[in-house]
Structure 1
Amino acid sequence: MGILLFSFNAIAPMLFTVALGWFISRRGHIKEQDITFLNRLTFRYLLAFHIFNSTLSIDYYAEFNPRLILLCSVSIFLTMIVFWLFFAATIKDRARRCIFIVSSFRSNNIIYALPLATNLFGQAGLKAAAMLVPVTIILFNFFTVIVMVYHSQPEKGSGDSGDWGMKTALKRTLIDILKNPLIIGSVLGIICSLLHIKLPAFLRSGINSVASTGTPISLVLLGAQVDFKKLSQDIKSALGACLLRLVIVPGILIPIMVLAGFRGPDLGALMVAFAAPCAVTNLVMARNYNIDPPFAAQTVYLSTVLSMVTMFVAISLLRYLGLF
């Protein structure tokens, strides 16, 4: 019973916040244009302040963990390669194949990591998760662009235009990463921590206030975007992508992380990075590259709902095994 209560206390606050967003949206109190505006506000400012505040609290001289970052990076890369090869041989439809590949390695880590890690391990969990945020932002964006640009080209004869398209997309992605508010917040937080810069009390208090709004609002907006009516289309394929994202990938990677010696907050940060649902930005990028946006939307909506169950099971199991 204690294990189940531990898992419930970790998941329930997130479930409540996401459900609140869905309820508000269904009541018509928040419109699509409101969601677009609030997503932009949250991404550019609220989450950026939250990331800055989280990275600022890390003592990198004492707490920096290169093994954690290396394992996370290698796992993302190998997951992309392995499932790209697998689905290239098993799925003929290029757009559908692309969504499956992206779903295998890209999770909604930015929104899930910080609140769930905090619920599990407090400040220690927050620090471990915050350390991985810059890594996942950069790798998720780069690899997703590579996969989507490749699959948006014709099967044959793309020629120089395809090569130029890839180069242009990667260059644009690099610029976007450098301008990404979350990356900027991470870098500024790391610099302030490394240089032991002490912010004035009034400024630190103000940043804390703004930062505390980032994850609750992002979770409310996540729930507001869930549309169950769109889940009736091709539900079997969507379930397959969700099974890959929520069960197969973490089922392979988490035991490897345990064998590598990770426990507690570090294991929790890695678990969230690889067991979180499909990223909302998968849908945004699928629309940009015209790669089956309806199917991408289904995988995001369905995985968001199912993740509450799979996360609960994963946390309970790791707690039962004494790894949390």
Structure 2
Amino acid sequence: MTYFVHIFLNNIVPLSIMILIGAAMYRTFKLDIKTLSKLNFFVFSPALVFVKLYESELSVAVLGQVLFFFLLFFTAISVMAEIFIRIRQYKGGMKGAMRNSVVFYNSANYAIPLNQMVFVGDAFTMSIQMIIMMMQNLLPNTLGVYNVNAHKSSWKDILRTVAFLPTIYMIPLAFVLRHFEVPIPQPINTPLHYIADGFMATALLTLGVQLGGMKWKFMFSDVLWSNFLRLIMGPVIGLLIVLLLGLEGPMAQALVLSCAVPTSLSSVLLAVEYDNEPDFSSQAVFMSTVLSMFTVTLVIYLLPFL
């Protein structure tokens, strides 16, 4: 019961308030969703990725283990999503939207506070979550863009689109500067942190604006299937891979927890930016965030058994 109340008050309620503010802002001022989307993609997200990676402390051993786990997990959940898409016989943009809603999860503004709460700010488990966040920030800006454009664009056009996304350049830049201990000048470092700190609020407000402006013809079946694959099958697959690799203790617990979080806001930002099933994507994020109050609580309860 303590976990339930804590997660509800410290994750679900703050997220919901920000989303509701965004929806109210749209209803009142008819905000431009495309402008907000571009701010997220080209300003806030790159700054967040750079700051978090530049300031983190990751050992080579931990990095290798976590990346191998993530490779197996991402492959397994992608195959599962593809099988489901074929069974449901989705067409056009819905295929990419469903893929993104399952394989991209909220590893930053939901998973990081959750990790801090469950493991009491442990640096080791936080470094694990930071690696997952790094990969989950890279993939929406590459594979995610391909997923929402594959049905209507050529490979050449998609690669050109990806090449103009700044986030993919922030990852190697942050690692290189950190490796050679290159200090960030204060006049640059200060605005970088201001922008990075604004990512969560801007992303959640963007989701609220999208929810406030969409036609609420709820795609009940598709959304709940997406939530089931993300919130139930996600941690189950993570647990199976942890057992397969023989991992245990805090590392195993942190990895399984990282697989249990709801659909990423990136799926909404992609859907809005490239006009690909934005209503379904927004509903999938919103419902998975609400339902995670119950599913994540169960995962946390089971973690000590690993």
TM range (shorter): 0.7 to 0.9
Say whether the 8 Å CA contact 2:73–2:237 is kept in structure 1. no
Aligned residue number for residue 310 of structure 1:
292
- Aligned 8 A contact 1:231 1:302 in 2: no
Task: Deviation per CA, 1:33-79: give whole Å up to 9, x if none.
Answer: 1x432332233223322222211122344675111112212322232
| Whole-angstrom CA distance in 2 between matches of 1:305 and 1:272 | 18
The normalised TM-score by structure 1 is 0.73
Q: Deviations over 1:222-258 (max 9, x none)?
A: 2332249734344223322222222233333344336
Aligned CA distance change for structure 1 residues 116 and 179 (closer, same or farther; 3 Å) = farther
Residue 322 in 1 paired to residue 297 in 2?
A: no
Tell me the residue number matched to 1:94. 91
Correspondence for 2:48: 50
Q: Distance in 1 between matches of 2:135 and 2:167?
A: 11
Please tell me whether the aligned partners of residues 57 and 127 of structure 2 are also in contact (alpha carbons under 8 angstroms). no
Q: Which amino acid aligns with 1:31?
A: K
| Map of 2:11 onto structure 1 | 11
Partner of 1:156: none
Query: Residue 46 of structure 2 contacts residue 167 of structure 2 at CA under 8 Å; is this kept in 1?
Result: yes
| 1:280 Cα deviation from its structure 2 partner | 0.9
1:216 pairs with 2:201? yes
User: TM-score, structure 2 length as denominator?
Assistant: 0.77
Q: Please give the alpha-carbon distance, in whole angstroms, between the structure 2 residues aligned to 1:146 and 1:217.
A: 24
Name the larger-Rg structure: 1
Output one character per residue of 1:91-138: Cα deviation in whole Å (capped at 9) or x when no partner: 234234554344332334455444544555547355433323342344
Cα distance change, pair 309–274 in 1 and its aligned pair in 2 (3 A): closer
CA distance in 2 between partners of 1:259 and 1:8 (Å): 32
Aligned residues: 299
Would you say the 8 A contact 1:7–1:312 is kept in 2? no
* Structure 1 position 263, deviation (Å): 5.0
Secondary structure class of the residue paired with 2:300: helix
More displaced 10-residue stretch of structure 1: 305-314 or 187-196? 305-314
Equivalent residues of 1:104, 1:244 under 8 A apart: yes
Distance 2:99 2:38 in 1: 26
Sequence identity percentage: 16
CA–CA separation in structure 2 for the residues paired with 1:3 and 1:201: 40
Displacement of 1:218 after TM fit? 1.9
Equivalent-residue separation in structure 2 for 1:43 and 1:98 (angstroms): 18
Distance 2:305 2:11 in 1: 17
Shift of 1:192: 1.8
Q: 1:323 to 1:9 in 2, by over 3 A?
A: farther
CA spacing shift, 1:187–1:268, aligned 2, 3 Å: same
> Structure 2 regions of 5+ residues with no counterpart?
none
Q: Distance in 2 between matches of 1:110 and 1:10?
A: 15
State the partner residue of 2:130.
130
Aligned 8 A contact 1:83 1:104 in 2: yes
Does the Cα contact within 8 Å between 2:210 and 2:282 map onto a contact in 1?
A: no
Structure 1 residue ranges without an equivalent (≥5): 154-164
The one of 95, 102, 105 equivalent to 1:104 is 102
Q: How does 1:29-68 map to 2 (within 5 A)?
A: 29-33=28-32, 35-61=33-59, 64-68=62-66
Matched residue type, 1:275: V
1:161 maps to what in 2? Answer: none
Q: 1:283 aligns to what?
A: 271
Distance (whole Å) between structure 2 residues aligned to residue 166 and residue 101 of structure 1: 19
**Aligned letter for 2:291?**
V
Alpha-carbon separation, structure 2, partners of 1:66 and 1:254: 18
Contact 1:102/1:147 (<8 A) preserved = yes
Q: Secondary structure at 2:169's aligned position in 1?
A: helix
**Aligned-partner Cα distance in 2 for 1:202–1:136:** 29
Matches within 5 A, 1:150-299: 152=151, 166-172=154-160, 176=162, 178-200=163-185, 203-227=188-212, 230-257=215-242, 260=245, 261=247, 263-264=249-250, 267-268=253-254, 271-272=257-258, 275-277=261-263, 279-284=267-272, 287=275, 293=277, 297-299=279-281
